[in-house]
C-alpha cells in the first residue's frame, strides 16, 4: 500500500497549502483579529471574590450602643460580637480575638534586620566620626 499525501480540492493541502488538524483549524474557522473565543466570558466591571468580601465587610450597619444609634462597619460588628462572646466566657471567641490581635501586631511591625560583626564595626566607626565632627562644630561656636 502506498501512503502518499493527497492534494486536491477536498483536502487541506488543496485549500491552503498548509496542514489542517488538531490546533490548526482552517483559515475560515480561525478567530478574526479582535474576536474572542469566549463571547459570554466574564463581563467587564464584574467583581472578583476579594472585592466583594471587602465591600461587604466595609458596609456600614446601624447598631444601638448604650441607647444611642451609631453606624459601624460589618467587620467592626463581627469583632465586637466576638469580644462580647469572649467576655461571656466563650473560649473560642476569646482565642479567635487573641490570635487575630497577635497576627495584626506581627504584620504591622517588621522585624529589625540583624547586623553581623563587620557591619556593626563599620557603623560604630562612622558614628564615632560623626560624633567628633559635631563635637568640633559645637566647640567652635
- Residue of higher predicted confidence among 115 and 58: 58
Tally Cβ neighbours within 10 Å of residue 13: 14
Q: What is the pLDDT of residue 55?
A: 96
Average of per-residue pLDDT across 101-127: 83
- Position 131 pLDDT exceeds 90: no
Band of pLDDT at residue 4, cut at 50, 70 and 90:
low
21: Cβ contacts below 8 Å, ≥ 6 apart: 12
pTM over 0.85: no
How far apart are alpha carbons 32 and 9 in whole angstroms? 24
The string of DSSP codes covering 48-69 is -HHHHHHHHHH-EEEEEETTEE
Cell numbers of 95, please? 482565642
- Position 129 pLDDT exceeds 50: yes
Lowest mean pLDDT, pick from 74-78, 87-91, 128-132: 128-132
Amino acid at each position: 500500500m502506498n501512503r502518499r499525501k493527497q492534494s486536491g480540492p477536498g483536502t487541506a493541502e488543496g485549500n491552503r497549502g498548509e496542514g489542517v488538524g488538531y490546533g490548526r483549524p482552517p483559515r475560515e474557522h480561525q478567530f478574526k483579529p479582535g474576536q474572542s473565543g469566549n463571547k459570554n466570558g466574564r463581563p467587564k466591571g464584574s467583581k472578583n471574590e476579594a472585592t466583594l468580601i471587602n465591600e461587604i465587610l466595609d458596609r456600614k450597619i446601624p447598631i444601638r450602643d448604650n441607647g444611642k444609634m451609631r453606624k459601624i462597619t460589618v467587620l467592626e460588628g463581627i469583632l465586637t460580637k466576638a469580644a462580647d462572646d469572649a467576655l461571656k466566657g466563650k473560649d473560642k471567641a476569646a482565642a479567635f480575638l487573641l490570635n487575630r490581635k497577635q497576627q495584626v501586631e506581627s504584620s504591622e511591625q517588621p522585624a529589625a534586620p540583624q547586623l553581623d560583626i563587620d557591619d556593626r564595626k563599620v557603623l560604630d566607626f562612622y558614628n564615632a566620626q560623626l560624633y567628633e565632627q559635631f563635637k568640633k562644630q559645637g566647640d567652635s561656636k
